[in-house]
Structure 1
Amino acid sequence: METTNPSQDGIRSTETLGPDDLAAARAVLAAASAVDGREAVSEAGRLRLRVDSARPGVTHLVQRQEGVPAGYAQLEAAEGRTTVELTVHPDHRRAGLGRQLLDAALAEADAGPVDFWAHGGHPGAARLAEEYGAELVRELRQMRRPAEPVPDEPVLPNNVTVRTFRPGRDEAAWLRLNALAFAHHPEQGSWTEQDLAERLAESWFDPAGLFLAWRGEQLVGFHWTKVHPDGLGEVYVVAVDPAEQGSGLGRALTATGLRHLAEDRKVPAVLLYVDADNPAAVRVYERLGFTVHEVDLVYRVDTAAGR
């Protein structure tokens, strides 16, 4: 599948993106985003789109048709399964290229389950899923609410205090709690020092929007907020130590971040992502006025069983 010339038609598989492949991948993703109204690759995937930046377990598939970028897929192998995000340039859709990309991804993957994302529940992905006999295994909901009305002043549990993040001092405590709180989460719980450092280096990062809850010297919760380039706010990550579950800390931290986004950052609305199979979190967000805006779906193909 690897080609000797990055400009040749077909699908090129590479673990390290050179300048030509990087430009092609970015061109496909930009065109798809402009037409679909959403990103085709997650934030984590977009952070991997750098020249000569290889990540363990990550493979890039760059597709060209008639000499121009036509499709892109990113594979990540971890914990016995492969996760795939892919899209086809809008000018080349409905010509079988998505099927070619998925076939290439399945060929690259080790035997076992292959999960592929359908961001926004894209109908093209649903058609592919049906054709390949894929099983729907995950529904990630994007929920939104207007920034107003601002939540009431949060009430913290006894002996818990909140302050903002201190770069260079709080990273280790944050990573420990993130791993603990998201031990069973397929993406968030596996963050490394590099993953955190990459996000802290992003232009949108603001330490004043990352709230840390402490019980004495122990970090027991956090709410990381984000403001997008279009001005939309986000409940980026909320985490609570399992020992604090039921104390009201998660709700208090969520309210703290929402008040910051509305009053300090003046955002018009706030979004968040939550798994549909986490009904407790969904209920908390619904009580805060969030409603479902759209859904991202994950379909699974078992390559060991064949198609």
Structure 2
Amino acid sequence: MVHNAGVVERADLLTPAAVAQVLELADLAGNADGAYPLSEHVVLHLRHGGDGLSTHLLVRDPGDGSIIAYAHLDTTDAVAGASAELAVHPLKRRHGLGRALVLAALDVAAEQDPAGRLRLWAHGDHPSATALANSLGFARVRALWQMRRSLFAPLPEVAPPGDVQLREFRPGADDAAWLALNAKAFAHHPEQGRWTLDDLRIRMAEPWFDPAGFLLAERAGELIGFHWTKIHGSDGEQHHHDPIGEVYVLGVDPGAQAAGLGSVLTVAGLAYLRRRGLSQVMLYVDESNTAAIRLYTKLGFVRWTTDVSFARTNP
């Protein structure tokens, strides 16, 4: 693919050397922007080879052949349309590389969808990303807040209802029951509610996975809620920051609501992360999920940054 900024390479799979270059590029962009440019599922696809259904778009330096711009394109969502995320080397910006990647992504999306639908994710809500999206006919359609809280601040004292017990996740034994509960809790969520056993196993194989930080709420032998925590920066990889905890996934069965269970699970997970010696915790929540934002604000979280999705539905 040739665009004004140069040649955009297209690949269905990347070599290990190319993956390493892309991850290094993402680190450089993240350090420059204050927000990592790729979401978790993209990084997992890169590390584990993906499912063969992703498309990788690359721009190389004409001098040494190194990757200086990258876009990941997922065309598997027939309902919402293709989605893309991109990163450009901080020293190679303002040369049209981001625009070239988006135009190439539109070409690929049009092969799968006659309407040419494409969603772009911009992590950090930078004005330059908004300007690029708007110039190409994209409109802002979704915002995802990152919220943070100090773990030095006191935690409220809450206890589960008398008929509810909290325990650790048991890999292998709880997989199917948790997937069923996750699907119910996130039935209307565009990504989380569609997790499969493979999605779960990939994450359990990650260095950060710890079943002690995967808390389940159980009533009469039935799972009714969970809080899966995550720790960034403690697995030996280069994160360029001190370890930070995350409220990775929090869910409650909508058909078995127990008073205050969301708060109970959240606080239990925060207490676990505090015991691990962490000083901060983060989470992601949709800007439109006002009930969850109220819960997290009540528990001391504040908005830190915003990720934005732009859509081009009528090209």
In 1: Cα distance, 2:297 partner to 2:155 partner: 13
* CA drift at 1:228: 1.4
Q: Is the 8 A contact 2:161 2:258 kept in 1?
A: no
Q: Which runs of 4+ in 1 moved over 4 A?
A: none
In 2: Cα distance, 1:57 partner to 1:245 partner: 37
Q: TM-score, normalised by structure 2?
A: 0.89
Give, as a single letter, the amino acid of the residue that structure 2 aligns with 1:24.
Q
* CA drift at 1:10: 2.0
- Is the aligned partner of 1:193 residue 2:197? yes
* Count of residues in Structure 1 that have an aligned counterpart in Structure 2: 296
In 2: Cα distance, 1:237 partner to 1:120 partner: 20
Q: Is the 8 A contact 2:13 2:52 kept in 1?
A: no
Match of 1:5 in 2: none
- Is the aligned partner of 1:241 residue 2:253? yes
The within-5 A match list for 1:197-276 is 197-229=201-233, 230-245=242-257, 247-262=259-274, 264-276=275-287
Q: Is the 8 A contact 1:15 1:54 kept in 2?
A: no
Aligned partner of 1:144 among 145, 148, 167: 148
* CA drift at 1:202: 1.1
3-state SS of the aligned residue for 2:67? strand
* CA drift at 1:54: 4.0
Match of 1:294 in 2: 305
Match of 2:291 in 1: 280
Deviation per CA, 1:108-134: give whole Å up to 9, x if none: 012343111110102221111220221
- The change in CA–CA distance for 1:148 and 1:27 in structure 2 (over 3 A counts) is closer
* CA drift at 1:219: 0.8
In 1: Cα distance, 2:30 partner to 2:279 partner: 22
Q: Calculate the aligned-residue CA RMSD, in Å.
A: 1.7
Q: Is the 8 A contact 2:34 2:124 kept in 1?
A: no
- Is the aligned partner of 1:133 residue 2:130? no
Match of 2:78 in 1: 79
* CA drift at 1:75: 1.1
3-state SS of the aligned residue for 1:258? helix
Q: Is the 8 A contact 1:154 1:255 kept in 2?
A: yes
* CA drift at 1:280: 0.4
In 2: Cα distance, 1:126 partner to 1:210 partner: 36
Deviation per CA, 1:125-158: give whole Å up to 9, x if none: 1111220221111110011111133323322124
Give, as a single letter, the amino acid of the residue that structure 2 aligns with 1:65.
D
Percent identity, please: 46
Aligned partner of 1:111 among 86, 111, 114: 114
Match of 1:173 in 2: 177
3-state SS of the aligned residue for 1:100? helix
In 2: Cα distance, 1:234 partner to 1:285 partner: 13
Give, as a single letter, the amino acid of the residue that structure 2 aligns with 1:55.
D
Q: TM-score, normalised by structure 1?
A: 0.91
- Is the aligned partner of 1:58 residue 2:54? yes
Match of 1:6 in 2: none
In 2: Cα distance, 1:157 partner to 1:213 partner: 10
Q: Is the 8 A contact 2:69 2:97 kept in 1?
A: yes
* CA drift at 1:272: 0.7
* CA drift at 1:244: 2.9
Give, as a single letter, the amino acid of the residue that structure 1 aligns with 2:19.
L
In 2: Cα distance, 1:192 partner to 1:241 partner: 18
- Is the aligned partner of 1:88 residue 2:99? no
Give, as a single letter, the amino acid of the residue that structure 1 aligns with 2:56.
H
- Is the aligned partner of 1:49 residue 2:46? yes
In 1: Cα distance, 2:50 partner to 2:156 partner: 46
In 1: Cα distance, 2:83 partner to 2:46 partner: 16
In 2: Cα distance, 1:103 partner to 1:239 partner: 38
* CA drift at 1:249: 0.9
In 2: Cα distance, 1:10 partner to 1:16 partner: 18
